[in-house]
């Protein structure tokens, strides 16, 4: 009996050791992606790992500007996916990405939204100047692409400065969505995909007219510790399977 117990223990330890060795051999891939891609890339992550056994994809979500700053300061990353060309262009200009490697993989649209009960009675963009609207959620334009798009649209309409006192700034478009979902602002600017995700907690008022389409570029970083794997991930995102997963979350093909 003792021999059986000892032998069983030996097999258990052996299996445990093999598990440790397997884990140690797993290849890690760090993907820094815009906050608005959280749901779509959380779907893509397991699909890619299934297609590439032994790979552990680590997702890092934040505003595109914040992610760029991290890369600029030396934070490890293999793939960068931005919510607009501005930050990807900076990555190219400052030598973090090869221009030829950057490619647009998805489109989105910006909308004006309110909490479900729309307490301020917002009906159009023009209504933002009314006394009934006291707070407007917007991503910080300097670092959040959705905020930059919103600012551009409001500047074009000549109302940005007059609306500034009402603005509640957020570190990402997802934070604006949280404000709306909890009824902490009268209205806010988010991507259509975010508003759809919120379901019946948020009401879309109208699509915001923009001079340029909301586009998402992706690229392998020059300092990637796993360039071949990073290229495979970018290819997967741009494949039919990747496009299908993005479409389920409301994104459109470029």
Q: CATH classification of 110-207 is 3.40.190.10, yes or no? A: yes
**Pick among 3.40.50.2300, 3.40.190.10, 3.90.1580.10, 1.10.940.10: CATH of 25-107+215-248:** 3.40.190.10
Calculate mean pLDDT across residues 175-193. Answer: 97
Q: How confident is the model at residue 6 (pLDDT cuts 50, 70, 90)?
A: very low
Give pLDDT tens digits for 41-71.
999 999 999 999 999 999 999 999 999 999 9
25-107+215-248 and 110-207 agree in CATH topology: yes
Residue 227 CA to residue 72 CA, distance in Å, equals 18
**Residue range 245-254, pLDDT digits in tens:** 999 999 999 8
In the prediction, which pLDDT does 20 show?
A: 43
- The pLDDT tens digits for 110-162 are 999 999 999 999 999 999 999 999 999 999 999 999 999 999 999 999 999 99
**Whole-prediction pTM:** 0.80
């Amino acid at each position: 009996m003792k021999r059986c117990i000892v032998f069983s223990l030996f097999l258990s330890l052996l299996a445990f050791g093999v598990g440790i060795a397997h884990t140690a051999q797993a290849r890690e891939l760090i993907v820094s992606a815009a906050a608005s891609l959280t749901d779509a890339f959380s779907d893509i992550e397991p699909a890619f790992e299934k297609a590439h056994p032994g790979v552990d994809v680590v997702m890092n979500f934040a505003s595109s500007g914040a992610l760029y700053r991290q890369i600029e300061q030396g934070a490890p990353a293999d793939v960068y996916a931005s919510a607009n060309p501005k930050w990807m262009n900076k990555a190219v200009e400052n030598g973090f990405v090869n221009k030829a490697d950057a490619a647009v993989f998805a489109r989105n649209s910006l909308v004006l939204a309110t909490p479900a009960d729309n307490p301020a009675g917002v009906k159009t963009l023009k209504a933002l100047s009314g006394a009934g609207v006291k707070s407007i959620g917007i991503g910080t334009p300097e670092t959040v692409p959705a905020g930059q798009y919103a600012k551009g649209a409001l500047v074009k309409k000549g109302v940005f400065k007059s609306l500034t006192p009402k603005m509640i700034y957020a570190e990402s478009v997802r934070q604006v969505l949280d404000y709306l979902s909890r009824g902490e602002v009268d209205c806010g600017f988010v991507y259509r995909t975010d508003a759809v995700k919120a379901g019946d907690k948020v009401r879309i008022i109208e699509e915001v007219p923009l001079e340029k389409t909301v586009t998402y570029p992706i690229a392998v970083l020059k300092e990637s510790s796993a360039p071949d794997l990073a290229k495979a991930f970018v290819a997967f995102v741009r494949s039919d399977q990747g496009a299908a997963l993005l479409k389920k979350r409301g994104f459109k093909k470029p």
